Amino acid sequence: MLTPATTRKDRYDRQEVLWGYLLIGPTLLGISLFALWPLVQSVYLSFTSWGVFGQVQWVGGENYARLLADPEVYATLRNTIILAVTSVVGSVLIATLLAVLLNVGVRGTSVYRVLLFLPVVTMPAASAMVWKWLYNSDFGLLNSMLANFGIIGPAWITDKAFALWSVAIVCIWNEIGISMIILLAGLQGVPRSLHEAAHLDGAGPVATFFYVTLPLLTPTLFFVTVTSIISAFQMFDIIYLMIGPEGYALESTQTLIFLFYEQGFIHGSKGYAAAIVLLLFLIIALVTAFQFWLQKRWVHYE
């Protein structure tokens, strides 16, 4: 039998549920309009072919058959993996080192934080232009410095042997700031009492870091790694601005997202471009799922 108190409680519960849906409604609407619907459209487009005047023709799995047989896809996939692994490993390691150094309370910590975070808020076009000047083989700063030691510098962004690694360095520089800030926040969340206890037990700074600080930092490292890998797989602006669609070294720096842009916006093969971007989506989803499975073995939430 329902009592008046039970009836009021049920009414309040329904009101709370209603308010909850109202509060998350704008976010769900935004995700549906700008994430889920474009994904559905991309899936549909991947099974079609577009003519020169916008005629759409259903071609079934032809785009995916072309995708599997296209050697350019495998070359760009190789470049994408190399760029992602290099930039993520480099940025996470350097960001961790910088976060640890800033966490110990060195002089001018606030200034260093601002300087290291500047690449994050700098427009990609401005960053690319600066790095393009630094990498210039004729009058760039890097080759000018090497010339002082009698070393002839390479053509950093036009030589196929150096272009991909040059882009990776810029990606690392661009990602360090945000990763460092997040890791610094994680370090400041480690209880000082644990450090004091380790010091009383005779542990030095190195042992304290690896056996106390690092295990407690693993949730933050996991988050930074996941987001950095997703960002690295989608790297486009730096390659476009530094190498360009007609660059000499485009073949050695072209990634899947750049191939998607080239096929969809330059050649007009929207169906094939949709198949490429869905392949990239699948790769990112699988890599992310593998990371979540693997984190059970190395991430400590206690």
Give per-residue pLDDT as tens, 59-116. Answer: 888 999 999 999 999 999 999 999 999 999 999 999 999 998 888 766 777 788 888 8
CA–CA dist 232, 115 (Å, integer): 22
For the segment 193-208, the average pLDDT, to the nearest whole number, is 83
Least confident segment among 1-5, 29-33, 34-38, 216-220 = 1-5
pLDDT of residue 233 exceeding 60, the answer is yes
For the segment 267-280, the average pLDDT, to the nearest whole number, is 92
Taking 3-state DSSP, the helix, strand and coil percentages for the chain, each rounded to the nearest 5, stand at 75, 0, 20
Query: In which element (H, E) is residue 57 found?
Result: strand 56-58
Long-range contacts of residues 35-42, Cβ cutoff 8 Å, at least 24 apart: 39/281, 42/274, 42/277, 42/278, 42/281
pLDDT, position 189: 86
CA–CA dist 235, 246 (Å, integer): 18
Structure-block tokens of residue 48: 């079609």
The fourth-level CATH superfamily of domain 62-298 is: MetI-like (1.10.3720.10)
For the segment 225-231, the average pLDDT, to the nearest whole number, is 93
Name the residue among 91, 81, 83, 84 with its Cα closest to residue 175: 91
Name the residue among 116, 97, 88 with its Cα closest to residue 225: 88
Name the residue among 207, 215, 210 with its Cα closest to residue 189: 215
pLDDT of residue 302 exceeding 70, the answer is no
CA–CA dist 232, 38 (Å, integer): 21
- Within 10 angstroms of residue 235's Cβ, the number of other Cβ atoms is 23
The pTM of this model reads 0.85
Residue 137's SS3 state is coil
pLDDT, position 182: 92
Do 219 and 201 meet the contact criterion of CB atoms below 8 Å apart?
Answer: no
pLDDT, position 2: 47
